Amino acid sequence: MLPQLGMGGAERVAVEGAEAVHLSGHRSLIAAGAGPLAPLAARAGAELVLLPLNTKNPLSIWRNVRRLEEVIEENEVDLIHAHSRAPAWSAYYAAKRRKIPFVTTYHGVYGEENALKRRYNEVMARGDRVIAVSNYVAELIQSRYGIGPERVRVVHGGVDVEIFDPATVLGDRSVRLARAWRADSGQPTIMLPGRLTGWKGQKLFIEALAWMRHQDVLGILVGSDQGRTAYTASLVALAKKLGLGPRLRMAGHVDDVPAAMMLADVVVNCSTKPEAFGRTIVEAQAMGRVVVAADHGGARETVLDGQSGFLVPPGNAAALAAVLDAILDMPAEARIEFGRQARGHIARNFSLPVMQTRLLNVYAELLG
């Protein structure tokens, strides 16, 4: 259950879960509005049921309950799994009426500014099993809603280590990006992947570049501003003010993330708020990159500080700069070995098959 098959992390996790169900010999249906991930869902073996689920209108949510009941009855659905709040309300009541298990995945750290928002979010804690994408999120769910650990399961996100594999980035995939970004001069490169929004820490990243001893470093911001052009303009203005204009690249959205990461000596996640999981920092480790992440949220679980990457105090540009300088001071052989350890860590603990197996185990608890 999704609002629509967009390009977000929750949508990708849903498609990966659908693939696991299909590969285990069962039918998997994705109820959602159309979106760019629909072809990927079909290749994963999922059957797409188009429903108008991308709405927060209470009347529409209630009408979707009956639509879902019809889908459940026609397809003999055994279990329903919601990945987003508005569809989850429809799924909760449909599952209750049809007496089938209801599962939710708590993908983010939802804001609770008022009682109405808290009530809206609360459906994600009503599952017979509530999946948290990290231990950090599991603790947050239990403290917010008072539910016991017997209903909460942690299933970290998984990365496809066959796609995110430096050995498979062949040909001119990275070369084309380097030319497009004017990043082919051989200077050290530090990358921050993530959509352009304030809490992702792009301004902190730019300030850290200005603090660094290595003043030849090139910084690349990879990610779309999703129409927030004023924020993009503020980043450009800050870089210019700090004298970084010639050394900062605004790459925008990138389809070939593995090829992009191959251009980086260091990949950074410096979000000012805790990430529920932090997929990009896991992908970067799978690519054998040296990573630096803010020491909070899901990163504490995915980065082995001093072994597969480095953790830094959140919101501290000077501390970030110091760690980046220390990494660039390391011999090339040491950075390569660091990357090798990082990739092994991800393959063992955060690969796609590991995530899919854990998800199927949750379903098996409810279905026997």
Buried (b) or exposed (e) across 234-257, using 16+ Cβ within 10 A? ebeebbeeeebeebbbbbeebeeb
Global model pTM greater than 0.85: yes
Amino acid sitting at position 29:
L
Rounded mean pLDDT, 46-56: 95
Q: Rounded to a whole number, what is the distance in angstroms from the first to the last CA of the chain? A: 22
Buried (b) or exposed (e) across 52-77, using 16+ Cβ within 10 A? ebbbeeeeebeebbebbbebbeeeeb
Report the pLDDT value the prediction gives residue 302, as an integer from 0 to 100: 98
Q: pLDDT confidence of 60, banded at 50, 70, 90? A: very high
Rounded mean pLDDT, 181-200: 92
**Assigned token pair, 304:** 């082995």
User: Is the separation of the CB atoms in 260 and 193 below 8 Å?
Assistant: yes
3-state secondary structure of 106: strand
Write the CB contacts of 187 (distance below 8 Å, at least 6 apart in sequence): 216, 217, 218
**Pairwise CA distance, residues 329 & 327, whole Å:** 5
Give kind and range of the element (H or E) at residue 121: helix 115-121
Q: pLDDT confidence of 171, banded at 50, 70, 90? A: confident
**Residue 27 pairs with which residues in a beta bridge?**
none
Report the pLDDT value the prediction gives residue 187, as an integer from 0 to 100: 92
| Among the listed residues 350, 3, 360, 301, the one whose alpha carbon sits nearest the alpha carbon of residue 153 | 360
Rounded mean pLDDT, 14-26: 97
User: Is the separation of the CB atoms in 13 and 44 below 8 Å?
Assistant: no
**Pairwise CA distance, residues 334 & 323, whole Å:** 15
CB atoms within 10 A of CB 171: 8
Sequence ranges of the chain with CATH classification 3.40.50.2000 = 9-158+352-367, 166-349
- What mean pLDDT is reported for the chain? 95
Amino acid sitting at position 315:
G
**Pairwise CA distance, residues 280 & 14, whole Å:** 17
Report the pLDDT value the prediction gives residue 185, as an integer from 0 to 100: 75
pLDDT tens digits along 106-141:
998 888 889 898 999 999 999 999 999 999 999 999
Percent over 90 (pLDDT), the chain: 93
Report the pLDDT value the prediction gives residue 7, as an integer from 0 to 100: 82
Left, alpha or beta for 306 (phi > 0: left; psi -120 to 50: alpha)? left
pLDDT tens digits along 206-253:
999 999 999 999 999 999 998 889 999 999 999 999 999 999 999 999
User: Is the separation of the CB atoms in 221 and 250 below 8 Å?
Assistant: yes
Q: What is the CA radius of gyration of the chain?
A: 21
Rounded mean pLDDT, 323-327: 98
Left, alpha or beta for 104 (phi > 0: left; psi -120 to 50: alpha)? beta
Q: Is the four-CA dihedral 301, 225, 14, 89 of positive or negative sign? A: positive
Considering the four listed CATH numbers 3.40.50.2000, 1.50.40.10, 3.40.50.720, 3.40.50.880, the one that applies to the domain covering 166-349 is 3.40.50.2000
Report the pLDDT value the prediction gives residue 113, as an integer from 0 to 100: 83
Considering the four listed CATH numbers 3.40.50.300, 1.10.10.1590, 3.40.50.12780, 3.40.50.2000, the one that applies to the domain covering 9-158+352-367 is 3.40.50.2000
Alpha helices in the chain (DSSP H): 9-23, 38-43, 58-75, 85-98, 115-121, 135-145, 173-180, 202-211, 229-241, 257-261, 279-286, 299-302, 317-329, 332-349, 352-367
Report the pLDDT value the prediction gives residue 82, as an integer from 0 to 100: 98
Amino acid sitting at position 302:
T
